[in-house]
Structure 1
Amino acid sequence: MLQAETLQLLCLTATSGVPLFSRGSAKQLPFSIIGSLNGVHMFGAGHGAQLMSCETDRGSRVVWGVFQESLMLIAVSGGGGPAISELQLRRLLENVWNCMVLVLGQDELANIRNVERLKRELRSCFRLIDMLLERVSDEQGFMGDLTQCADCMLLSHSGLLQEALDSFAQAAESEFGCLLVHGRVALATEKWWSRLTSQEVVVLSVLVHSLSGASSCDYPVFLPQGSPTVAIRLLSFQLLPGVHVCVLCGPKPSLYKAENELIGRFWSTFVENLRSCLEQAKHSTLPPSVSLRWDIQALLLINRESRRAVTVCPRVRSGAPSEATPLLSSARRLELLRLFYTFAVTRYFISQEASVLSASTTSEDFSKGFTHVPVQCYLVTDECKCYGLQSSQHQLFVLMDLSVPTFALRTVATQALSAITAATGF
């Protein structure tokens, strides 16, 4: 049905099955197949069965999702390319829906009055949707589309920049402000973390990143959970190429005032600090004060309380012995990290992800076989060794070199967690 290394997203009206758009693969699916995918879902619904997903013997996957009983999204992945889990595809559907709500509002999507008009309006979402499709298997280390946690970078000296951000947001009559470096959240106000849901932070970060070509913009947005029917203003400004500051605010201030008065007042004295952030981003999402062992190939650290996440995928091995095996490519390590994250949260760790996937699968609940709550797990493959641990505050997923003894995996992982949290307070 699909060629290898393809991922395609389909959007149809839920009641009549009218195709609204198709994104992803350059070679679109024939209309007959699109109709069949919609028809089999409608047939099941008519007989009291909810079709959520299926998998072919060649490794292709299809995942269906109906939102507000109005729109149906279908994700289709071809076998033979990078492995894409069912959890990734389901998250993709949720993120695409949130992006459409962010841009158009829930009313416009839930109450379709004119199909042709909706088709035209949905074009304004294509850039965001394409970015989400790219992030399913990108090489930049963005994991928020899968974890639904904000992709962050941790700064070494953030006190002055945090004060500048808080003051700037207050002057813009807002409690919601954020500083992004190459699409990752470097700093944010307290309300940005406490009042916005993690899904909203993820799609807002993607939106600001998609607007990186503009020096400033005044964009009306609908918060998918917080304000799905009433638009609020997103003001975004490019402080340096790759560095953006944004606020969510009401009718004041005007874009002109914010750009010509507030930006210069609060950010002109911190140009060198911002350049330091860009320099750090070239090397790692962690500050230079954090030193990891050479045999850690990649890691994903999640703060479960604030729903923030940091992904580390070293480009070089500092301090590696001469006989060390060659480092896997960044793309392969990130693919393995995504797969191990999915493996751990759907089988061992009690989490939102596991509950979502278990609700959509007919397989036996693996975790019910335990008499306790697992907090650590490991996996040994032909390419690396994987270790995951979960505490009340953190989840950590680490890929390590095959040379690390299996009995030492826990020690290496806990040392890495301690090094990061002690230096950054993450």
Structure 2
Amino acid sequence: MHAHTTTDVQPFSVNPDFDFEIRTAIGRTAAGAGDPGEILAATEQVRKNDHEGWFDAWNALADRTAQTADTAASRGHTVSAADAYLRASAYYAVAVNALSSLDDTTRLQPTFAKQQTAWGGFLTHTTANITAIQIPYENDALPGYFFRASTYGTAPTLIAVNGSDGSLAGLWASCIQPALARGYNVVAFDGPGQQSQLFDKNVPFRPDWEHVLTPVLDHTLTLDGVDAAKVAVYGISQGSYWVTRALAFEHRFAAGITDPGIVDVSTSWTSRLPHSLLTVLDSGDTAKFDKEMAFGMKFSPDTARTWAFRARPYGTTGYGETIRAVRAYTVADVASQITTPLLILSPENEQFWPGQAEQLADLTREVSTVIPFTAAEGADGHCQPMARALTAQRMFDWLDEQLTH
């Protein structure tokens, strides 16, 4: 459940979770969703277990950056405004995640609202061609955005699926901006349990993402400028599970990319629990499991914080109920049904789902390609946080070739 420093590079923080967040934030700077100096300056004084100070550092940086954006906008400096709003939205997103693991959750809603406001400021001032869309979904709609390629006529289109706690500013950096630069349209949206669906509507995750991605694809195919024969899908972090699960049932995509490959989401939870404790749960004694977990959490406040943060979008309460829910997030039994060409990114030192990229490749041998990322390249760790330009180059070069066949 905890991040670990991935290379021999000196950590930015002695707290491995903070260090991973800083690396991820610095990685986003490749697409303008951050500035390395201000990130490092804001976080360098935060002590190892000062979780309140961690929130304060990011919230203050975001507030200051948003103020810069507001000032630039009021004076007609639209490029500066767009840049600063994007950075502010990305920084607020880290602050939101910091709050998710604190006992006091009353600040979650207002901080997320500031994140959304900054994102809206970016959309207003950027030169990118963006349309807000509503994707029909069951008895409601999923909010999304259609980013239009600068080409005239139809273009290949990428549907971007976020991770468990990623922001739209983060998705812009990891996927949307590199796609637009290469002439792709992009559809991005908040699915069940993600961002606005979680914080504004309290809608939890669901494992059966074919019921999400199929309506998203249906709507995408109605948008002007979409080449129906060239629609691909990308999933980052836990979004990789959702994409893989959906592709087992939805066969209309021209290609899919998982960053990284995931087979079973639950192992990032269960691998750090004592085997004897899981045996208690598997025997059906949920009450005993919950009691022992609660006792153990008293001695490990860091684990308790991470658990609270990770469990929230599943809409569960007890420890046993959460583990049971997360265990449904597996493609081990359905991945062999995938017929779509599938790119699986496989970083060395993957800390959340080690070995699962290779497992997914074994299950999808007929259709999958694996691209490794290594520590020697500075590209190891979950989602290659410090090598996003290299990641974009490799995955989009593969995708270009798939769609020109």
State the TM-score, normalizing by the size of structure 1.
Answer: 0.26
User: Greater Rg, structure 1 or structure 2?
Assistant: 1
The structure with the greater share of residues assigned to helix is 2
The structure with the greater share of residues assigned to strand is 1
Which structure ranks higher in relative contact order (CA pairs < 8 Å, sequence separation ≥ 6)? 2
